[in-house]
């Protein structure tokens, strides 16, 4: 055998070994997959943060996040109430597509969530705190486990100090402590487990604060001792003593509400400190928003029109913050309008997962995260379906009502019960009545608001949000062409939503 041939044959194993080593080094050099922590406050409106100029409430941690990460100044909840927004957060879809019309209406088991998708990508997924899109008990087809989460410590609805929560569907147990600190503590325990298993993680933490009825720790209440003397009007809310409705001076209510916000803010600070100490902060996307605007008992009337339960800006604008040093190394502010429905498409883009093959209402926000998006490329839609028209006795439940009965206790009574039950119905033929209810579209600088009642009464308002963010001047008579354009686009979108409502998106159901 010639010398050159012999040398070549002996070199092949060496070359192969070198190639494998080089490939191994390349794989080792690949950046680790990001972790995701998605936080949401309960009834926490846009203006109730220090960084947005609130005259009283103290949120030093959220203020720091706003100063170091990405501040999304026009972040919206997909709906002006809680259960529907939570459904959008999980699925990337408007809640009316799945019949999650109002608080206490569950989502449907056929929905695909961020947890389902990230599980496929190898993530360990956990939920902590308020669920409110179905019951959290074992056997429920809408509990966090059925919706893709590996682990959960959750409540059917909201909760106060020393909350009763269900661990992985088990019977409710009392978790002593301030409620925001409790759910953050459980989330940290979950993250530790994911790290030990060598898995990236998705932790969804939905606080029970600052939803009424309010309570607070003495040290947090003391920060707001001056408020009872400043706000004397009577407001309605739930009594912590009876669980029924009561009225109290607004200053007392604000003192307790702001104490809850400050405690939640501090709990988020504890989570950020943990991430830094464990060297997780750099490659963890930490997100915070509210689930709808400020409730009527606590709204101070500025700077936006409307409150929780209304499709004006005050009902849907909420704080929106992202910290992710690996991707957002310097602080930035974006004016791009974003929404809770955008979370699923964004996480799919960041993890390389395909989008579900069904209509979505959210968009991928990675261009906004990277600072390359100047304006939202598609409209935002809001719609409060008119449930008063439904004759529930004639409707077939989507889920066995027994599985929709809640177990975790709370202070507020409903129909004499200190728990929450859920509902969802099948919808057959769509009629003109199904298009009713308060609704709105934002496209560019313009927003059209439509209020339409079963008696045929219709009120339309057109606002230029760039010139008039407080929605004070109705331009409907000055720009009828713009209003008609938005009305047509809104109607087309409603038709798509109603098709989904019938179950058309679930071909194998």
Give the DSSP letter string of 140-161. -TTSTTTTT-SEEEEESS---S
Q: Name the strand (E) or helix (H) holding 452.
A: strand 446-452
Q: Name the strand (E) or helix (H) holding 15.
A: helix 3-29
Distance CA 140, CA 251 (A): 41
Which candidate, 303, 342, 305, places its Cα nearest to that of 322?
Answer: 342
Tally of CA atoms within 13 A in the half-sphere of 280 that contains its CB: 23
Q: Give the number of other Cβ atoms within 10 Å of residue 69's Cβ.
A: 24
Q: Look up residue 176 and give its two tokens.
A: 């002593």
Torsion 63-68-74-76 (CA) sign: negative
Which candidate, 357, 373, 356, places its Cα nearest to that of 365?
Answer: 373
pLDDT at 30: 62
Q: Is the CATH code 3.40.720.10 the one for domain 32-378? A: yes
- Residue stretches of the chain with pLDDT short of 70: 1-30, 509
CA dihedral 292, 296, 297, 302 (to 10 degrees): 90
Buried b (16+ CB within 10 A) or exposed e, 476-509: eeeeeebbeebbebbeebbeebbebbbbebeeee
Distance CA 276, CA 38 (A): 17
Distance CA 497, CA 491 (A): 10
Please report the beta strands in 453-499, taking only residues with DSSP state E, as ranges in sequence order: 458-464
Q: Look up residue 234 and give its two tokens.
A: 């009577």
> Is residue 62 packed enough to be buried (19+ CB in 10 Å), middle (13-18) or exposed (0-12)?
buried
pLDDT at 502: 97
Angle between helices 250-277 and 60-68 (to 10 degrees): 50
Which candidate, 308, 302, 416, 320, places its Cα nearest to that of 368?
Answer: 320
Q: Look up residue 490 and give its two tokens.
A: 């809104």
Q: Which residue has the tokens 């019938």?
A: 502
Rg (CA), the chain: 24
**Total count of residues recorded for the chain:** 509
pTM above 0.85, yes or no: yes
- Cβ pair 112, 356 in contact under 8 A: yes
Q: Name the strand (E) or helix (H) holding 65.
A: helix 60-68
Backbone angles phi and psi of 177, in degrees to 5 = 130, 175
pLDDT at 102: 97
Distance CA 86, CA 401 (A): 21
Write the Ramachandran bin of 164: left for phi over 0, alpha for psi from -120 to 50, otherwise beta.
beta
Tell me: cis bond preceding 170? Omega within 30 of 0 counts: no
First to last CA, the chain: 69
């Amino acid at each position: 055998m010639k010398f050159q041939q012999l040398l070549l044959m002996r070199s092949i194993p060496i070359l192969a070994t070198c190639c494998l080593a080089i490939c191994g080094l390349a794989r080792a050099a690949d950046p680790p997959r990001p972790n995701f922590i998605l936080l949401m406050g309960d009834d926490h409106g846009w203006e109730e943060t220090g960084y947005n100029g609130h005259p009283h409430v103290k949120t030093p941690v959220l203020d720091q996040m706003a100063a170091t990460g990405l501040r999304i100044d026009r972040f919206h909840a997909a709906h002006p109430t809680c259960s529907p927004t939570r459904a959008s957060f999980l699925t990337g879809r408007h809640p009316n597509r799945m019949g999650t019309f109002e608080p206490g209406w569950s989502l449907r088991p056929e929905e695909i969530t961020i947890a389902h998708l990230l599980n496929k990508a190898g993530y360990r997924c956990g939920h902590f705190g308020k669920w409110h899109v179905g019951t959290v008990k074992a056997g429920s087809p809408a509990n966090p486990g059925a919706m893709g989460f590996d682990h959960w410590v959750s409540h059917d609805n909201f909760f106060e100090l020393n909350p009763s929560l269900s661990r992985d569907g088990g019977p409710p147990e009392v978790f002593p402590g301030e409620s925001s600190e409790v759910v953050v503590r459980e989330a940290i325990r979950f993250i530790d487990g994911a790290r030990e298993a060598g898995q990236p993680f998705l932790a969804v933490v939905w606080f029970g604060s600052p939803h009424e009825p309010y309570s607070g720790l003495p040290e947090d209440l003391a920060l707001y001792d001056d408020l009872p003397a400043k706000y004397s009007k009577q407001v309605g809310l739930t009594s912590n003593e009876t669980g029924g409705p009561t009225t109290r001076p607004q200053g007392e209510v604000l003192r307790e509400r702001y104490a809850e916000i400050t405690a939640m803010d501090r709990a988020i600070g504890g989570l950020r400190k943990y991430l830094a100490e464990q060297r997780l902060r750099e490659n963890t996307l930490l997100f915070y928003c509210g689930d709808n605007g400020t409730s009527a008992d606590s709204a101070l009337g500025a700077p936006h029109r409307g409150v929780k339960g209304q499709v004006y800006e005050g009902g849907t604008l909420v704080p929106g913050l992202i910290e992710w040093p690996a991707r957002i190394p310097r602080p930035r502010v974006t004016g791009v309008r974003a929404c809770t429905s955008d979370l699923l498409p964004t996480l799919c883009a960041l993890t390389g997962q395909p989008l579900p093959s069904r209509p979505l209402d959210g968009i991928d926000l990675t261009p906004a995260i990277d600072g390359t998006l100047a304006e939202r490329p598609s409209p935002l839609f809001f719609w409060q379906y008119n449930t008063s028209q439904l004759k529930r006795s004639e409707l077939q439940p989507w889920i066995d009502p027994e599985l929709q009965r809640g177990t975790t206790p709370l202070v507020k009574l409903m129909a004499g019960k200190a728990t929450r039950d859920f509902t969802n119905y099948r919808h057959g033929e769509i009629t003109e009545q199904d298009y009713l209810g308060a609704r709105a579209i934002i496209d560019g600088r313009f927003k059209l608001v439509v209020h339409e009642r079963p008696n045929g009464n219709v009120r339309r308002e057109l606002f230029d949000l760039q010139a008039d963010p407080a929605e004070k001047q109705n331009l409907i008579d000055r720009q009828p062409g713009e209003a008609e354009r938005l009305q047509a686009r809104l109607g087309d979108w409603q038709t798509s939503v109603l098709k989904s409502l019938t179950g058309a998106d679930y071909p194998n159901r």
